[in-house]
Each structure stands twice: as structure tokens, then as C-alpha cells.
């Protein structure tokens, strides 16, 4: 066998072998500005910053399940959506952390009570809280359509009101949040949304409301798109992730206006992989990352809100909090007064009904 | 003397071994060597291609996991006479009570994903019930009627639709995922019926996927044929330059090209802008060309075009120009010469390009995802959704298997009609 051939073979075998587990904790998240903020807020403030490796992924539980099922777990901590946190926990893809002692708020409030103060009553047992992010409607006051006759949209009902606020609306291509918003726009109180959705009549009602703006919707699927749509005037209002709007306002000199009333607040969790190679170190880091201080710290770099109510208090006391030296609370989706006018997304309902609603929404879009 | 050479064994090599054996030996050694050389590749193909395909096919009919969780319940359930009793008999309630109370939490959790797909709501119903049963068992509550106890825990246990949905899961090997992928499900008697109306999305998506793929292939052929012809017939220095225009986009990232199309096609984009500027369209009458099926069609056609041009080009390149001249010499008009002499010779290239484009189009994901918007999503969108979000891998596998099946049927049809030996990539 020639030397060349041997070398090739050696490389071939090496590339097949999985990379061996090191003592470093692998933290998998969405990438981009979001992961950047996690590195600064959790990684750099950790006792041993170099021991945490941040890696991007595309979301979803597909890869998580593949790793756990094959027994070849390479990740330690995964940043997931709330309904995925629930499904992953049920399926045993994530490890149950009920016994972990999470760090209390500065005034001693337990994490559980701290979360309850933000309106989150059920925490997936395999996960630690991260941030609130929201689906929120927004528009560009510098690009104000003349046919609104000077009126400003103030609530989600205006988003659904094409008579008084004519023009196209940007909406995402999946069902989350838009169903809830339709009900709020139809007059359901923000706290009653999921009770109404529990019945099939409630779901029908939401879709009937959606029908009223169907011909006025431009559907987007990438998170950066709604900003372009609004900026270019392709649509007059759009739903978007609030952090994207915040980044445009705080770092790119935009002047987008939020329509907070009727926004849907979503949770975000970090969960421990079942069979994580560096379990203990990972748990230690999760305790650090979910502490009130770390959560508040993150708001210096991105406008997703801390899930722990005490995190908001820290920010309020420390304004101007953003790393550029400006106030951040006005861009934060979960100050107490905003929570009162928002739907707190119910991941349990979505874990239960997600596929049915998604299929229905897909059929609705295509019709 | 001559009689002795009648058999070949008599011929010996210098070291006394019969020549035939010696030859055989070297040949075998060569064969082993050759096999060893391709062995890594073979192994690679088996591991990365054959095994996953069979694993997928297996998953698409496999429902054994849930059957290990509820063996007793399912057994009792099958005895339920649905005409005679409105709700399942006490034994069914009792069986599920204990299987939930004493079963492995993670196994039940995995079964939940599957149950929830047959009927939304199973997930929280089972979880809530399970918690309560565990408490019951711990407190050693004496239960007179398991049926009443379960309904007391959650009134959904008195809802027949939940129980009817269980028919989908009763067998360890099941075609139900294929039915689900075709908007069908089982009713209480395990007859195949249509899915509830507002949930029907898959057949429509299959048809759309197929339609878009056919259109894309057709447009690629329509646009690619003249380009390939030009490339094949221009003098080398011009055709090389033109080839760059074909290859450059081909080498450009898929995402970049897709996004570029969004910029071109959107309502305030380049094309609409030019049309409004020219006065063809009014400012309010801008056409919606992206975030719908049109956008998917346009972007996919452009992205897949090189896959049509390149095989066509390589086939056209070797068609001797003398054939056309001979046809003309024999009295054929240019059109006749083209249709009857030139065109038939390009069939291998058209087939190769067509098959290539169609195969790629039917499984396309990222471009339709980005430009598809409201009605431009293809079946890949739903496979990805169930793979990542609902974790209903049985359904994903069934959809994948259907895609594979469509391809095999097409391949077979193609072989029947055109003949697979007629395919030529260069």
C-alpha cells in the first residue's frame, strides 16, 4: 500500500470517528446576535469563560433526538422554544432537573416565584429559563401611509383593521402567535385566549378573524424579512420578533414603532441533553445563566427580556442599561405594564395542538 | 506425445505449479485488491445511503413503541364493541390506569408524541392523568370504578373521540402514516376515511410539488435548450465566455441567489419598479411575484437551469454539424432538418437534464421555504416541520418513502418509454 493511500485511509477513518468528548461544555443556540448576547452575558461573566463552547444550530428537536437515540450525544445544553422544551422533556431527550437548586433572586425570591411574577406558571422540569421574546406588530412612522389620515395603530385590533389602516401586513408562514392575536383583535381578553382556543369553535373564530385580512397579507419566513418589508414599504405593518426591531432601533438608527397591545410573549429555555458528556459542569453553567443577574446582563446586548421578574428590576434600577449607554426598558417586551396587555404564549397548548393548527394554517394560507 | 497435451494441467510454470492455478491465484488476488480499493467507498455508501433508506422505510410502518407501552389497554380495547357501548368497558379503563401509573415515564412520554398526532390533546390529558394516578397509587386509594375515577380526574376520558383515535395505534406494523400523509385517517372501525376538512393539506401539497416540478423542468428545457445550442455552436472563444455566465450562478450560493430573486421580484423590487417607471403598471397595481407559488417557480427555474444546460450542451457538442448539412443536401428544409435530424440526437441530453432537474425539484426545500410565502411551500416544508417540531418521524418517513416511490415509478416509466441507456450526461 502506498504511503499516499495509507494517508487517505487514515483521514477517512479519522473523519468517521466522532470527536471525542472534551471537558468543555457545548452550548447550542440559534446563532447570530442572539448567541452573541449569550456569550457576553453568560459566557464572559462565568467563573471559567473558556470552558463554554457556543455553537449555532437551526432549531427544532430533530438533531437532539438523533443524538440521544444513537447514544452519541455531543451537545450539553440546547437553547429551545418552549413547546420543544416540553416535548423534549416528555420524550426523555432532556434530563429532568427538578432537584437542581436554581439561584434565587437578589432579594431571596425563589426562581419559581420569580417566574410566576412574570406570568409563567409551568416551567418544563428539564430546563432553565432564558428570555422572553415576542411576536409583536410594528410600523415605520417615518414611512407613514397618507391614507391612514393621521391615525396611529395602537393595538392588535388595528393590525386586523384594513378599513381604517389600509395596506399590506407582513405575517410569518407558521401558525404560532397569529392565532392568539386574531382572537385578541376579535375582542377576547388577553388572559382568556387559551380558554377560547380550547374549544373548536374558538379555533374557528380565530380563523374567521384571519380571513378578514387574508388578502392583505405578505407572508415571510426569515426573521430579518419583516424589517425589510416595512422599510421598503412593501407592507405598512408587520409582525416580527421584537429583538430584531430593537436591534434596528438601537443600533441601526431606525425609528420603528411597536404595537405592544396584543403581542404574544414566548418563552425560551435552555435544556440539558439526556446523556450530556459534561453533565455536572453544564448544570453549574445553567444555574449561572439563569440567575437574575445574568438574565439582566443579556439585556445590555439584545432587547429580549429576562424571564425572571427580578431581572427587569435590576435593569430598571440600572438604566441606562444598554451597552451603548442608552435606556433599554422602552424596547423591552416584558415590563409589567406591557405584560398586562400581552398574551403569555402557552407552550402546553401548542405542544398539544401544534400539528393540527399548523396543518390547518398551512391549508388556510394556500386556499 | 501429442496425446499428453490434451489437458491443460500439464502446462507448468517455472516453480512447478500448474499454469491455470497460478493464473487463477493472481486473478483472485487482483480481484481482492480491486475489491479492497472500492471497499471504503462501498462501506461509505452502505452506511450513509442504504442503511438510512431502509431505516426510513422501517420507521414509516413501525408503531411498535406505543404497543410496548399500552399492551394490555390495546388488548382490552380490541374487545370493545363500539355499537353496543358508548364508552370502552371498565377493563380498558383499568388497564390504562395501571399502565399509566406503573409504566416507565420516558416510554410513555415518547408514546405521547405519537398519540398526540392521532388526536390533539392526548398529550396534556395523559400527563395530567398520569400525575394524578401516581398520587392515587402512593396514597393507596381504593377505586371502585376505574372508569369513573378517570373521568373524575379529567372529563375528556368520557369523550369518545379520544378513544376512537386509538384505532390508529393498535398495530405494530401499520400503514397509517402513509394514510396520514395522504390526508386520510382511521375512523372508529379502522376504516380509512378522510381527515377533517380544515386539516387537509398534504394531497394539495403533493399535487403542488408535482406540478411545480413539472413546470420547472419544462421551463428549464424551454430556456436551456437555446442556450445550450448557442454554447455548442459558437466559436470556442465566445462560447467559453458565455459558459462563464452559466457557471458563475451555478457556483454561487443557493441562498444568495434565492435572496437576489426576492430583491428582484418583490413589490417594491427591481422588476416592479422598472414596470411602474415605464408606465406599464400603476403604482397601486404592482404585481405580487414573490412569497407565493409564482416566486417559487421563477426562483427554482433559474437555480436549476444549469442542471439542464450542462448535459444538453455536452450532448450537442458532439453532434456533427455535417448531419444537418447532409439533411439539407438531401432536400430537407432547415426546420425539417432540425426536427428530424438534430432534435432526436439531443434526446439523451434532454432526458438527462430533465430527470436531473425533476429529481432535484421534487425534493427542494430552502428556496420554496424562503420565497414560497403563502402557497409556494412544497412537501419538503412539511417533512422538515414534522422532523423538527412535532417529532412525528413516522409521518416524515412515510412522506420520504412516497417521494422515493414517485421517483422509482418515474424512473421505470422513463426506462419503458425512452430507455435508460439513452441517458447521457456527457
CA A312 to chain centre: 17
Distances (CA, A) of A341 to A185, A207, A262, B96, B202: 12, 22, 6, 42, 37
Residue B370 C-alpha cell reads as 424562503
Q: The C-alpha cell of B62 is what?
A: 413501525
pLDDT above 70: residue A5: no
Look at residue B161 in the predicted model and tell me its pLDDT: 86
d(CA A186, CA A163): 15
CB contact under 8 A, B198 and A89: no
Query: What backbone torsions phi and psi does residue A82 show, to the nearest 5 degrees?
Result: -65, -40
Whole-number pLDDT of residue A21: 43
Closest CA to A167 of B269, B371, B284: B284
Q: Nearest Cβ partner of A354 from B109, B370, B390?
A: B390
Question: Is the distance from CB of A168 to CB of A236 less than 8 angstroms?
Answer: yes
Predicted confidence (pLDDT) at residue A20 exceeds the cutoff of 80? no
Which cell is A280 given?
455536572
Predicted confidence (pLDDT) at residue A194 exceeds the cutoff of 90: yes
* Cβ <8 Å between B389 and A356: no
* Nine cell digits for residue A228: 425589510
**pLDDT recorded at residue A360:** 92
Distance of CA A350 to the CA centre of its chain: 14
CB-based contact A302:A34 (threshold 8 Å):
yes
Q: How far is CA A281 from CA A40, A47, A74, A145, B22, in A?
A: 19, 11, 14, 54, 64
Could you say which of A59, A61, A366 has the minimum Cβ distance to residue B375?
A366
The three-class DSSP label of residue B350 is: helix
CB B337 within 8 A of CB B324: yes
Q: DSSP label at A177?
A: T
**Residue A189: what pLDDT?**
93
Specify the 3-state DSSP secondary structure of A261. strand
Quick one: cell of B61?
Answer: 410502518
Helix (H, G, I), strand (E, B) or coil at A292: helix
Question: Look-up: residue for cell 416507565?
Answer: B104
Residue A210: pLDDT band (50, 70, 90) is very high
- For β-strands A169-172 and A257-272, DSSP reports them as unpaired
B413 contacts: CB under 8 Å, gap ≥ 6:
none
Render B362-400 in DSSP notation, one character per residue.
Answer: HT--HHHHHH-TTT---HHHHHHHIIIII--HHHHHHHH
**Which residues in chain A have Cβ-Cβ distances shorter than 8 Å to B185?**
none
In chain B, the domains with their CATH numbers are 64-171 (no CATH), 202-422 (1.10.3720.10)
The pLDDT of residue A146 is 73
Closest chain A residue to B286, measured at CA: A234
Nearest one of B387, B386, B388, B368 to B378, comparing CA atoms: B368
For B290, nearest residue in chain A (alpha carbons): A218
CA distance B303 to chain A (A): 20
Alpha-carbon distance B310 to B249, whole Å? 13
CB burial of residue A186 (10 Å; 0-12, 13-18, 19+): middle
Of A212, A135, A199, whose CA–CA distance to A353 is shortest? Answer: A199
Largest CA distance in chain A: 82
Cβ contacts (< 8 Å) between A217 and chain B: which residues?
A: 374
The answer to whether ipTM exceeds 0.95 is no
- CB contacts of B208 in chain A (<8 Å) are 366
- E strand or H helix at A351: helix A347-366
Task: Nearest by CB to A62, from B198, B268, B388: name it.
Answer: B388
Domains and CATH numbers, chain A: 21-132+267-332 (3.40.190.10), 134-265+343-366 (3.40.190.10)
Q: Is residue B408 within 8 Å of B53, Cβ to Cβ?
A: no
Which chain A residue has the Cα nearest residue B265?
Answer: A234
Decide: A269 and A132 in contact? Cβ < 8 Å: no
Pick from A92, A353, A365: which is nearest to B120 by CB? A353
CB-nearest partner of B123 from A84, A352, A362: A352
Cross-chain residue pair A232–B124, CB shorter than 8 Å: no
Query: Does residue A316 contact residue A329 with C-beta atoms inside 8 Å?
Result: yes
Q: Each residue of A59-106: pLDDT tens digit? A: 889 999 999 988 899 999 999 999 899 989 988 999 999 889 999 988
Q: What is the mean pLDDT of residues A128-155?
A: 87
- Provide mean pLDDT across the span A227-246: 91
Query: What pLDDT score was predicted for residue A245?
Result: 92
Mutation to test the A interface, candidates B119, B263, B284, B291, most A Cβ within 10 Å: B291
User: C-alpha cell of B139?
Assistant: 396514597
Interface test with B, best of A82, A170, A173 (most B CBs within 10 A): A173
Give me A136's grid cell.
409583536
Residue pairs between chains A and B whose CB atoms are closer than 8 Å: 115
Helices (H), A122-252: 156-159, 178-185, 193-197, 200-211, 225-231, 242-251
Grid-cell match 414596470, residue found: B275
Cβ contact (<8 Å) for B374 and A234? Answer: no
Q: Rounded mean pLDDT of A354-361? A: 90
Q: Please tell me chain B's helix, strand, coil percentages from 3-state DSSP, rounded to the nearest 5.
A: 75, 0, 20
Residues of A in contact with B116 (CB under 8 A): 351-352, 355
Angle (CA) A240 A244 A246, round 5° = 110
Q: Does B199 contact A359 at a Cβ distance shorter than 8 Å?
A: yes
Contact A234 B123 (CB under 8 A): no
pLDDT at A19 over 50: no
Question: What rounded mean pLDDT belongs to chain A?
Answer: 88
- Tell me which residue in B113, B204, B266 faces A366 most closely, judged by beta carbons: B204
CA distance B181 to B201: 9
**CB contacts, 8 Å: A233 with chain B:** 268
In this structure, the strands spanning A217-220 and A25-29 are unpaired
Chain B CB contacts of A220 under 8 Å are 291, 373
Percent of chain A's residues with pLDDT above 70: 94
Q: How far apart are the first and last CA of chain A?
A: 63
Residue A59: which of B113, B369, B388 has the nearest Cβ? B388
List of chain A residues whose C-beta atoms are within 8 Å of the C-beta of residue B386: 355
Chain B: closest CA distance from residue A2 (Å): 12
Which residue of B41, B177, B194, B201 to mutate against A (max A Cβ within 10 Å)?
B201
Cβ atoms of A227 and A248 closer than 8 Å: yes
Residue of B285, B374, B399, B400 to mutate, interface with A, max A Cβ within 10 Å: B374
A362/B201 touch (CB, cutoff 8 Å), yes or no: yes
Contacts of B268 in chain A (CB under 8 A): 232-234
A145-163 as b/e: b if 16+ CB within 10 A: eeebeeeebebbbbbbbbe
CA of B374 to nearest chain A CA: how many angstroms apart? 5
Which among B109, B120, B375 has the least Cβ separation from residue A356? B120
**Using a CB-CB distance cutoff of 8 angstroms, which residues of chain A are in contact with residue B382?**
362
Beta carbons of A366 and B291 less than 8 Å apart: no
pLDDT for the residue numbered A1: 45
CA B219 – CA B411 distance, rounded (Å): 21
Contacts of A125 in chain B (CB under 8 A): none
Q: What residue in B sits closest to A354 (Cα-Cα)? A: B390
The residue of chain B with its CA nearest to that of A366 is: B375
B374: chain A residues, CB-CB within 8 Å: 173, 217, 219, 365-366
The verdict on a CB contact (< 8 Å) between B375 and A355 is: no
Rounded (10°) angle between helices B90-102 and B122-139? 80
Res B285: pLDDT = 79
Residue B352 backbone dihedrals phi, psi, to 5 degrees: -60, -50
User: CA-CA distance, B32 to A318, in Å (whole number)?
Assistant: 74
Measured in residues, chain B has a length of 426
- Each residue's pLDDT tens digit, A284-303: 999 999 999 999 999 999 99
Chain B residue with the nearest C-alpha to that of A69: B110
Residue A329 has pLDDT above 50, yes or no: yes
Q: Is the peptide bond before A320 cis (omega within 30 degrees of 0)?
A: yes
Using a CB–CB cut-off of 8 Å, the residues of A that contact B are 9, 12, 58-62, 65, 83-84, 87, 89-92, 168, 173, 207, 217-222, 232-234, 348, 351-360, 362-366
Query: Which chain B residues have a beta carbon less than 8 Å from that of A60?
Result: 387-389
Q: What are phi and psi of A212, to 5 degrees?
A: -70, -20
Walking along chain B (426 residues) 10 residues at a time, the average pLDDT comes out as 52 79 88 92 91 90 89 88 84 90 87 86 88 87 86 88 87 90 87 86 92 95 94 88 89 90 86 89 82 90 93 90 88 89 89 90 90 85 89 92 91 82 66
The mean pLDDT of A328-350, rounded to a whole number, is 90
Q: A85 contacts in B (CB within 8 Å)?
A: none
Give the minimum alpha-carbon distance from A364 to chain B in angstroms, rounded to a whole number: 8
The counts of H helices and E strands in chain B are 21, 2
A18: cell is 466522532
Nearest-CA distance B108 → chain A (Å): 8
Question: Cell triple for residue A46?
Answer: 462565568
pLDDT confidence band for A8 (50 / 70 / 90): low
Cα A205 to Cα A332: distance, rounded to the nearest angstrom: 31
**Cell triple for B59:** 420507521
Q: Are A233 and B269 in contact (CB under 8 A)?
A: no
Amino acid at each position: 500500500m502506498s504511503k499516499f493511500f495509507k494517508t487517505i485511509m487514515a483521514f477517512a477513518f479519522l473523519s468517521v470517528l466522532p470527536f471525542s468528548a472534551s471537558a468543555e461544555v457545548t452550548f447550542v443556540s440559534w446563532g447570530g446576535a442572539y448567541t452573541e448576547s449569550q456569550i457576553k452575558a453568560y459566557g464572559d461573566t462565568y467563573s471559567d469563560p473558556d470552558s463554554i463552547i457556543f455553537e449555532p444550530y437551526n432549531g427544532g428537536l430533530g438533531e437532539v433526538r438523533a443524538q440521544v437515540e444513537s447514544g452519541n450525544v455531543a451537545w450539553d445544553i440546547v437553547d429551545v422554544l418552549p413547546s420543544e422544551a416540553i416535548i423534549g422533556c416528555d420524550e426523555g431527550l432532556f434530563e429532568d432537573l427538578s432537584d437542581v437548586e436554581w439561584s434565587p433572586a437578589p432579594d431571596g425570591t425563589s426562581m419559581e416565584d420569580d417566574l410566576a411574577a412574570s406570568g409563567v406558571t409551568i416551567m418544563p422540569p428539564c430546563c432553565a429559563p432564558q428570555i422572553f421574546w415576542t411576536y409583536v406588530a410594528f410600523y415605520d412612522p417615518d414611512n407613514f401611509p397618507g391614507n391612514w389620515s393621521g391615525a396611529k395603530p395602537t393595538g392588535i385590533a388595528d393590525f386586523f383593521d384594513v378599513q381604517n389602516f389600509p395596506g399590506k401586513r407582513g405575517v410569518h408562514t407558521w401558525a404560532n402567535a397569529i392565532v392568539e392575536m386574531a382572537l385578541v383583535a376579535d375582542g377576547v381578553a388577553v388572559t382568556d385566549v387559551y380558554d377560547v382556543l380550547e374549544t373548536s369553535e374558538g379555533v374557528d373564530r380565530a380563523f374567521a378573524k384571519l380571513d378578514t385580512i387574508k388578502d392583505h397579507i405578505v407572508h415571510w419566513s426569515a426573521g430579518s424579512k419583516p424589517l425589510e418589508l416595512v422599510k421598503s414599504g412593501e407592507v405598512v405593518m408587520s409582525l416580527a420578533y421584537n429583538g430584531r426591531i430593537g436591534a434596528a432601533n438601537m443600533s441601526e438608527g431606525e425609528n420603528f414603532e411597536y404595537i405592544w397591545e396584543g403581542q404574544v410573549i414566548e418563552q425560551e429555555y435552555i435544556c440539558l441533553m439526556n446523556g450530556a458528556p459534561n453533565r455536572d459542569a453544564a448544570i453549574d453553567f445553567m444555574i449561572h445563566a439563569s440567575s437574575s443577574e445574568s438574565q439582566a446582563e443579556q439585556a445590555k446586548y439584545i432587547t429580549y427580556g429576562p424571564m425572571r421578574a427580578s431581572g427587569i428590576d435590576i435593569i430598571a434600577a440600572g438604566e441606562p442599561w444598554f451597552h451603548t449607554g442608552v435606556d433599554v426598558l422602552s424596547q423591552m417586551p416584558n415590563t409589567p405594564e406591557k405584560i398586562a396587555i400581552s398574551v403569555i404564549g402557552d407552550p402546553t397548548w401548542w405542544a398539544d395542538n401544534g400539528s393540527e393548527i399548523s396543518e390547518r394554517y398551512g391549508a388556510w394560507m394556500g386556499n | 506425445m501429442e496425446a499428453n497435451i490434451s489437458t491443460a494441467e500439464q502446462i507448468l510454470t517455472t516453480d512447478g505449479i500448474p499454469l491455470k492455478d497460478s493464473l487463477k491465484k493472481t486473478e483472485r488476488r487482483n480481484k481482492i485488491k480491486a475489491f479492497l480499493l472500492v471497499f471504503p467507498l462501498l462501506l461509505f455508501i452502505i452506511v450513509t445511503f442504504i442503511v438510512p433508506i431502509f431505516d426510513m422505510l422501517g420507521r414509516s410502518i413501525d408503531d411498535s413503541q406505543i404497543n410496548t407501552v399500552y399492551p394490555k389497554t390495546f388488548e382490552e380495547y380490541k374487545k370493545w364493541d363500539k355499537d353496543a357501548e358508548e364508552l370502552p368497558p371498565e377493563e380498558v379503563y383499568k388497564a390504562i390506569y395501571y399502565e399509566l401509573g406503573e409504566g416507565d415515564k420516558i416510554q410513555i412520554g415518547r408514546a405521547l408524541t405519537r398519540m398526540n398526532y392521532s388526536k390533539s390533546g392526548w398529550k396534556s390529558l395523559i400527563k395530567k392523568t398520569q400525575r394524578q394516578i401516581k398520587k392515587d397509587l402512593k396514597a393507596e386509594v381504593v377505586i371502585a370504578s376505574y372508569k369513573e375515577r378517570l373521568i373524575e380526574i379529567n372529563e375528556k376520558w368520557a369523550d369518545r373521540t379520544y378513544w376512537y383515535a386509538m384505532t390508529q395505534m393498535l398495530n405494530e406494523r401499520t400503514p397509517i402514516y402513509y394514510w396520514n400523509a395522504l390526508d386520510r385517517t382511521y375512523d372508529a372501525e379502522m376504516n380509512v376515511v378522510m381527515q377533517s376538512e380544515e386539516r387537509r393539506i398534504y394531497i394539495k401539497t403533493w399535487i403542488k410539488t408535482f406540478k411545480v416540478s413539472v413546470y420547472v423542468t419544462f421551463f428549464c428545457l424551454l430556456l436551456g435548450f437555446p442556450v445550450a445550442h448557442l454554447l455548442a455552436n459558437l466559436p470556442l472563444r465566445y462560447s467559453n465566455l458565455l459558459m462563464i455566465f452559466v457557471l458563475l450562478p451555478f457556483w454561487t450560493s443557493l441562498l444568495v441567489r434565492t435572496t437576489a430573486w426576492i430583491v428582484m421580484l418583490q413589490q417594491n423590487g427591481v422588476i416592479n419598479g422598472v414596470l411602474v417607471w415605464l408606465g406599464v403598471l400603476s403604482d397601486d397595481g404592482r404585481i405580487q411575484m414573490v412569497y407565493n407559488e409564482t416566486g417559487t417557480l421563477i426562483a427554482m427555474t433559474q437555480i436549476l437551469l444549469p442542471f439542464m444546460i450542462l448535459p444538453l450542451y455536452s450532448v450537442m457538442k458532439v453532434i456533427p454539424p455535417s448531419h444537418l448539412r447532409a439533411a439539407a443536401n438531401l432536400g430537407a428544409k432547415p426546420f425539417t432538418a432540425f426536427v428530424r435530424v438534430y432534435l432526436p440526437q439531443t434526446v439523451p441530453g434532454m432526458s438527462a437534464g430533465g430527470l436531473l432537474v425533476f429529481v432535484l425539484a421534487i425534493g427542494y426545500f430552502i428556496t420554496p421555504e424562503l420565497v414560497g410565502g403563502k402557497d409556494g411551500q412544497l412537501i419538503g416544508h412539511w417533512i422538515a416541520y414534522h422532523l423538527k417540531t412535532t417529532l412525528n418521524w413516522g409521518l416524515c418517513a412515510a412522506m420520504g418513502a412516497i417521494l422515493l416511490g414517485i421517483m422509482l415509478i418515474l424512473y421505470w416509466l422513463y426506462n419503458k418509454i425512452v430507455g435508460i441507456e439513452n441517458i447521457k450526461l456527457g
